[in-house]
Amino acid sequence: MIKNQFIWFLLLFYVVVFNSSHFACAENLIGFIGSVTKPVMEEIIREYQKKTGVEVIAQYGGSGTLLSQMKLAQMGDIYLAGSPDFMEKAKKEKIVEPDSIKIVAYLIPAINVQKGNPKKIQSLHDLIREDIQLVIANPRTVCVGLYAVEVFEHNHLSSLIKPRIKSYTESCEKTANLIALGGADAVMGWEVFSHWEPDKIETIFLKPSEIPRISYIPIAVSRFAKNKKQAKDFVNFVVGYEGKEKFKAKGYITDEPEARRYAPEAVNGGEYLLPLGW
């Protein structure tokens, strides 16, 4: 059933994009964009179109799901992943141009709870409590889910926390929305989630020693790009002054030294392989 829905989505997206009259201009771009950046990328895309006249048709979702879609459909001009893990996969599978990869912003793994923290969650160990409904993103296809597992494994809590997980979400956006709507007591998310919905989401920071790795958001030109020059121009716009300022305005961390304040000894970037059993 899931496979059929996936194939149907690809066929529908192909028909909409390539047969719509507004996409007739060869300069227009297709972006496969991790939903962790949706609050700001929607604004950046509008600004870019206003300045250049080039339309960027964005498909948002989990980074792994988007990568699979690009690979299967053999299409897309831009790939923006929610973490370096999935960009490394894109490099290995020759889906992106390696020399075009640039860093957009940095992400810090954290616990997100409902505003006011009604269950008084203070630490990772509180996620083991029987009265806590915990949700994480799917670690196989969503960057924040993969980082959640890495945090649990690093702190030797997987065997205790895994039975407490209520469900798995399909994207960063859905993970943040779930806690904002009260669908869980806690999610393992990013610290930036509380900037998306400051009246509904609160961040509980992990101890620096509990964070094995800092994440960053990479963007690259796809090898399927029809107009690589235009695609590179868009990438440069996203990581340029205007793009960075928009990310800062939405609460994202845009330089490594600031990110390191939360975890001075953590590894920056790299790739984490999901352990068996997850």
pLDDT string in tens for the chain (278-residue length): 444 445 545 544 554 454 444 444 557 999 999 999 999 999 999 999 999 999 999 999 999 999 999 999 999 999 999 999 999 999 999 999 999 999 999 999 999 999 999 999 999 999 999 999 999 999 999 999 999 999 999 999 999 999 999 999 999 999 999 999 999 999 999 999 999 999 999 999 999 999 999 999 999 999 999 999 999 999 999 999 999 999 999 999 999 999 999 999 999 999 999 999 99
Locate the domains of the chain by residue range.
2-106+217-268, 107-213
Q: What type of residue sits at position 171?
A: S
Please give the pLDDT value at position 12.
44
Please give the pLDDT value at position 21.
42
Please give the pLDDT value at position 271.
93
Kindly report the average pLDDT of the chain as a whole number.
Answer: 92
- Give percent above pLDDT 90 in the chain: 90
The second-level CATH assignment, the architecture, of 107-213 is 3-Layer(aba) Sandwich (3.40)
Closest CA to 259 of 124, 110, 134, 93: 110
This prediction's pTM = 0.89
Please give the pLDDT value at position 27.
76
2-106+217-268 and 107-213 share one fold: yes
Could you read off the pLDDT of 59-73 as tens digits, one per residue? 999 999 999 999 999
Give the Cα separation of 14 and 219 in Å (integer). Answer: 22
Could you read off the pLDDT of 5-47 as tens digits, one per residue? 455 455 445 544 544 444 445 579 999 999 999 999 999 999 9
Tokens 């992990």, residue located = 206
Please name the fold of domain 2-106+217-268. D-Maltodextrin-Binding Protein; domain 2 (3.40.190)
Please give the pLDDT value at position 4.
45
> What does the DSSP assignment read for 73-87?
HT--SEEE-SSHHHH
